[in-house]
Structure 1
Amino acid sequence: MDFSLSQFSNTFLYVYSSLITVINPIGGGLFFLSMTMSATREIRGKLAARIAVYCFFMTVVSLWIGSFILSFFGISLGVLRVGGGLVLFGAGWAMLNAPTAEDAPVDPAKKISTSELMAKAFYPLTLPLTIGPGAISVATAIGTSTEINLTNILAVNLAALATTLTIFVCFKYSDRITARLGATGSDAIQRIFSFILLCLGVQILWTGVSDLVTKLVVSLPH
């Protein structure tokens, strides 16, 4: 098979820009920061690396066999959105009602363990916070509409890798914001983005419910 540099560039830019837009790693980094305020910089870096690895595999799987997996289990995108919306809503509600840094009891002997945070690397930090229903549906749509050849395979996989590297950088260095804002500013950021996360959950949930209701109405006999 021939390799086309022009086709490679076009496919790479198309896939990368589409994934970056829907994933929004900068905004995701702020969500990540608000959920890992008590973690050390070392733990946050390890967690960001693991999330990036999970994101890469989830993106590649969604790109190439996403539609097959959903159809195999009989899961529609509407159901996927409903489930993802409920999870995001729950995470946002818990974060919104969490105690502030000033109200929370301080125990110098107690530090968050690496295992506790690493257990959250896949759920909910990767799915659905970073790679949510929107990203999965976009990746699945790209995969089903992409011609299978050597150039496109390389371009799509490298675009997925570039996307996850961007996620890693945004997540790993998100703690620099905390150093500049201080405790009060960090708490404010946490509340703001917790509320946005809650609203995103409602929006995704509403989109999924709307899809399911529309399909139900269409399927009813007239």
Structure 2
Amino acid sequence: MELSPIPVGTAIGAFLLAFPALFSIVNPIGAALIFNEVMGDRTPAERRLFARRIALYALIVLLVSLWLGGYVLNFFGVSLSALRIAGGIVVAVRAWSLLMQPEVHEERKASAAEPAHGAADDVAFFPLTMPLTTGPGTIAVAIALSSQRPASGAGLLGFFGGVSLAAGCVAALIWLCYRGADSVVALLGPGGARVMSRLIAFLLLCVGVQIMITGVLGVADLIRTGHG
């Protein structure tokens, strides 16, 4: 029984599921505004270096969460359907908070990134990658996405290939947006960034609801099969 309208057993289907969700929660355009603010005293060469390192670290965080997150929870006895329902709730709640109060979310990220005054090696991962770019919310979304993997078979390879490509594209956008943070600020400004944040938060809300629906259908299928 196919529980999702998106064929997650193919690389294209997995990419189409993962990329909008990861892009929405990471929001590299909005994060670039914060990056530009906290990096205001850095030289252009230092900012480019930070952009490259943050993108690399963000890619590692995303890949580890996507590849291993679901398996770790399954190891503790969490069923795939339960993981999907819980993950969908986490994604939906996170998206709702972003949709209703994007300013609070931005202020929280900016406050967490304030101590970014050490050497590149010291601050590129913390606080500029975590929690500014890929914080707990991003990890939760990635784990929820990993719950959408096929149970077994050849579809697993396509799924992990697709979500890995999505993570790579998001990391590339982080690098581009952070590297050109000055241009992003000039183009959008804080008001434009908040409008875009609300739009992509709504998209993330839809993804969370879809993941929950998939989990509920999985539970219903198990009940029907068990009683059959």
* Pairwise TM-score range, normalised by the shorter structure: 0.5 to 0.7
Is 2:89 aligned against 1:82?
A: yes
Taking the aligned partners of 2:181 and 2:21, their CA distance within structure 1 comes to: 14
Match of 1:21 in 2: 16
Letter in 2 for 1:136: S
Match of 1:10 in 2: none
Match of 2:31 in 1: 35
Taking the aligned partners of 1:171 and 1:164, their CA distance within structure 2 comes to: 10
Q: 52, 58, 63: which is aligned to 1:51?
A: 58
Letter in 1 for 2:202: C
Match of 2:136 in 1: 123
1:155-192 per-residue CA deviation (whole Å, 9 max, x = no partner) reads: 87666655443332221112366443544623244112
User: Would the aligned equivalents of 1:28 and 1:171 in 2 still touch at CA under 8 Å?
Assistant: no
| Count of aligned residue pairs for this structure pair | 187
Report the CA distance shift for 1:201/1:117 in structure 2 as closer, same or farther (over 3 A).
same
Report the CA distance shift for 1:112/1:92 in structure 2 as closer, same or farther (over 3 A).
farther
Shift of 1:85: 1.2
User: Would the aligned equivalents of 1:93 and 1:198 in 2 still touch at CA under 8 Å?
Assistant: no
Taking the aligned partners of 2:74 and 2:212, their CA distance within structure 1 comes to: 21
Report the CA distance shift for 1:194/1:96 in structure 2 as closer, same or farther (over 3 A).
farther
Taking the aligned partners of 2:10 and 2:178, their CA distance within structure 1 comes to: 28
Letter in 1 for 2:74: I
Taking the aligned partners of 2:127 and 2:105, their CA distance within structure 1 comes to: 17
Q: 195, 199, 209: which is aligned to 1:196?
A: 199
1:50-77 per-residue CA deviation (whole Å, 9 max, x = no partner) reads: 1200222223226xx6497188124341
Taking the aligned partners of 1:26 and 1:176, their CA distance within structure 2 comes to: 22
SS at match of 2:27: helix
TM-score (norm 1): 0.59
User: Would the aligned equivalents of 1:26 and 1:170 in 2 still touch at CA under 8 Å?
Assistant: no
Taking the aligned partners of 1:213 and 1:18, their CA distance within structure 2 comes to: 20
List gaps (5 residues or longer) in structure 1. 1-13, 105-109
Taking the aligned partners of 1:190 and 1:112, their CA distance within structure 2 comes to: 23
SS at match of 2:152: helix
Report the CA distance shift for 1:82/1:208 in structure 2 as closer, same or farther (over 3 A).
farther
Taking the aligned partners of 2:201 and 2:166, their CA distance within structure 1 comes to: 25
User: Would the aligned equivalents of 2:95 and 2:204 in 1 still touch at CA under 8 Å?
Assistant: yes
Report the CA distance shift for 1:125/1:198 in structure 2 as closer, same or farther (over 3 A).
same
Letter in 2 for 1:145: G
Taking the aligned partners of 2:74 and 2:22, their CA distance within structure 1 comes to: 28
Shift of 1:94: 3.8
List gaps (5 residues or longer) in structure 2. 1-8, 40-46, 117-122, 224-228
Letter in 2 for 1:81: G
Taking the aligned partners of 2:203 and 2:19, their CA distance within structure 1 comes to: 13
User: Would the aligned equivalents of 1:67 and 1:144 in 2 still touch at CA under 8 Å?
Assistant: no
Shift of 1:49: 1.5
Match of 2:146 in 1: 136
Taking the aligned partners of 1:59 and 1:209, their CA distance within structure 2 comes to: 18
Taking the aligned partners of 2:104 and 2:171, their CA distance within structure 1 comes to: 28
User: Would the aligned equivalents of 2:21 and 2:203 in 1 still touch at CA under 8 Å?
Assistant: no
Q: What fraction of aligned residue pairs are identical, expressed as a percent?
A: 6
